[in-house]
Amino acid sequence: MECTPGEGNMSPTRNSCARGTMGDMRPTAQCQPLKGPEGHDGAVPAARRHTPVLLERCLELLAPALSPQAGGAPGAVLIDCTLGMGGHAEAALERFPDLRVVGIDRDPQAIALAGERLARFGQRFSAVRTTYDHVDEVARSASSRQDGTVDAVLMDLGVSSLQLDEVGRGFSYARSAPLDMRMDQSGGTTAQELLDTAEERELARILRTYGEERFASRIASEIVRRRRAGQPVRTTDELVELVRAAVPAAARRAGGNPAKRTFQALRIAVNSELEVLKRAIPRALNSLRVGGRLVVESYQSLEDRVVKQALAAGASPRAPEGLPVVPLEAQPYLELLTRGAERAQATELAANPRSAPVRLRAAARTRPAAQAPAPHSTQRADGARHPSKNTRGRTRR
């Protein structure tokens, strides 16, 4: 969809497709007036709102798939699954002059800001508003190959500085705001609704599983007690205070803000982050041509575990040990490009403290997805296996 002049302060940007999270076609917010970080009109350029993390290393890892000089295909396609403010996408478009980038983001404001920033690349950039587990559909429509594959996929997970800094989004425990935390504010359940309606056991599970919070039960119990007393928490700072009061005194003093893990857990639950990621990684791997590359930056251990397991599985033979010859279908289909997870160096950490938690992993496809597809995950986000039916129809774990 292209904006028509006068519908907001956006210059027209190209959108190959504009989808909601369920794949339905709907207009993007590209024509909405943009707001500054404090919620006023008067746009702050996208480039100043978010500093891309490990940018040079990402480009270096992507280069062999994207640059014809390094053996990549001419007119290569990169899907940036987490477009954000378009920092990584812009650098890739500048570095690889033939490259086309399709950016995905579920946040309409990110699509709008990045679209404005990248409009100068014309047809070489397009954006799709959806969740990144639609990466395979996006790849098929962007691909010029019959098998629908692309050359590379980039994922820079989590929230952007725009989302963290913008008052009203409710992601940050540093400032008072309503408890929203949705990356796409056009639908879905807010953190407030979750806190108002979830049972105590469910709240404790969310805090324990997604926040790795030791005091999950205490915090959940206090949330529910406040609710029953007719004094539910209403804002981010009230939640911070509640957590502070609920945890033991020693935990208040150690390891930064004690509400950090609660905020992470609620954000992951509100946006179903791990479920979407588990669907997305095999789809991204199956959207790559042979030689195509996947680069993923994670910011917390749960998402890094999902990525690590999927890449390790693709890089190892699936035959039982001891077979004299590994059958073709059991041979690895990925080559790992990073040894373990790579972290930000001291200079980047000093310039951009938000790079501190990053863990970068990358892999290249060595066999076609048609021969060796990455299996769809059967694991739940908390690491347990999905219940599956045995042949007699009983559920087993």
Count Cβ atoms within 10 A of the Cβ of residue 243 and give its class: 0-12 exposed, 13-18 middle, 19 or more buried: buried
Q: Which of 188, 169, 184, 146 lies closest to 19, judged by CA?
A: 184
CA gap 78, 125 in Å, rounded? 10
Tell me if 196 sits within 8 A of 232, measured CB to CB: yes
CA gap 53, 121 in Å, rounded? 22
156 in a known ligand binding site: yes
How many Cα atoms are found within 13 Å in the side-chain-facing hemisphere of 219? Answer: 33
105 in a known ligand binding site: yes
What's the distance, CA 343 to chain centroid? 18
Closer CB to ligand SAM, 227 or 343, in the complex: 343
- Least separation in angstroms between residue 93's CB and ligand SAM is 12
- Least separation in angstroms between residue 52's CB and ligand SAM is 4
CA angle, residues 351, 353, 357, in degrees to nearest 5:
130
CA gap 151, 162 in Å, rounded? 29
**Interface residue list for ligand SAM (CB under 6 A):** 50, 52, 82, 84-88, 104-107, 110, 131-132, 156, 158-160, 183, 276
CA gap 182, 267 in Å, rounded? 7
CA gap 91, 306 in Å, rounded? 27
- Least separation in angstroms between residue 1's CB and ligand SAM is 18
Closer CB to ligand SAM, 282 or 332, in the complex: 282
Strands 334-336 and 359-365: antiparallel
CA gap 128, 18 in Å, rounded? 5
Closer CB to ligand SAM, 110 or 224, in the complex: 110
Closer CB to ligand SAM, 156 or 348, in the complex: 156
Closer CB to ligand SAM, 52 or 115, in the complex: 52
132 in a known ligand binding site: yes
Q: Which of 376, 359, 201, 366 lies closest to 280, judged by CA?
A: 376
87 in a known ligand binding site: yes
Closer CB to ligand SAM, 71 or 168, in the complex: 168
Count Cβ atoms within 10 A of the Cβ of residue 1 and give its class: 0-12 exposed, 13-18 middle, 19 or more buried: middle
88 in a known ligand binding site: yes
Closer CB to ligand SAM, 108 or 332, in the complex: 108
386 in a known ligand binding site: no
SS3 call for 331? coil
- Least separation in angstroms between residue 270's CB and ligand SAM is 11
Closer CB to ligand SAM, 261 or 283, in the complex: 283
- Least separation in angstroms between residue 71's CB and ligand SAM is 25
- Least separation in angstroms between residue 271's CB and ligand SAM is 6
How many Cα atoms are found within 13 Å in the side-chain-facing hemisphere of 136? Answer: 14
- Least separation in angstroms between residue 360's CB and ligand SAM is 12
Looking up tokens 């980039």 gives: 154
- Least separation in angstroms between residue 69's CB and ligand SAM is 24
Annotated binding site for S-adenosyl-L-methionine: 86-88, 105, 132, 156, 163
Residues contributing to the annotated binding site: 86-88, 105, 132, 156, 163
